[in-house]
Amino acid sequence: MSGVIVCHGSAAVRERVVSAAQSVPALVPARAAASVEELITHCRRAVPALVLLDAHLPGAGPIEAMRRLRELESPPVVIMIAVPGDEITLDRAIAMGARGYLAPDVDRTELAAVAAHSLATTGNGVATNGHSRPRTSTQPPIELTKREMEVLIGMSHGRSNAQIGADLFLSEDTVKTHARRLFRKLDAADRAQAVAIGLRRGLIR
């Protein structure tokens, strides 16, 4: 298993993310799919290590895609491509084994961080062969303060540091301080990875 398949309904998003992934060695080869059928066809030829899956995939849809990926003998790691407001689809996808989500404008740096973290832990948390729940993690619990949780939730909703500060009546610098502590506790390189870890560990939904 190697490389990534970017399965998205938008040709522009597919092309941009595939282009960014091609510069991340762990994600080569990077392939594109526009539908569930095309995704599964690619996987039957060569199962990728990672699938980036559109939360608004047209046709059979992302949940059907998750179901069919889970039936593969060696299912890939799945991360959703989603935006704030996609919580219902994300909840269902996470329950079926998805690791977390990235925004459609994900860049090379974020892809490299997610690849390094997700592919290094392949096999921990991916539902396979009909099991509907992620496997139990043996990782130690993560203890976040109330403010760190509020910052993480804000990040998961796509809010900037300034917007999170306005929501919590905090300065942007204070939010950045909480974010740095949050990243250290989660061992995350950036916001996208912090949200992905938070979703996978059940800290946020």
Residue 156: per-residue pLDDT: 84
> Contact at 8 Å (CB) between 52 and 76?
no
Write the pLDDT tens digit of every residue in 146-156: 999 999 999 88
Q: At what angle do helices 191-200 and 87-95 cross, to 10 degrees?
A: 60
Write the pLDDT tens digit of every residue in 73-94: 889 999 999 877 777 787 788 8
Answer yes or no: is pLDDT of 176 > 70.
Answer: yes
Which class for 129: exposed (0-12), middle (13-18), buried (19 or more C-beta within 10 A)? exposed
> Contact at 8 Å (CB) between 83 and 108?
no
What are the domain boundaries of the chain? 4-120, 146-200
Q: pLDDT band at residue 48, thresholds of 50, 70 and 90? A: very high
Q: What is the mean pLDDT of residues 176-199?
A: 88
For domain 4-120, give the fold.
Rossmann fold (3.40.50)
Q: 149 is written with which tokens? A: 């949780």
Number of H helices, E strands in the chain: 9, 5
Q: Tell me: domain 146-200, CATH 1.10.10.10, correct?
A: yes
Contact residues for 2 (Cβ-Cβ < 8 A; gap 6+): 28, 29, 46, 48, 49
Q: pLDDT band at residue 117, thresholds of 50, 70 and 90? A: confident
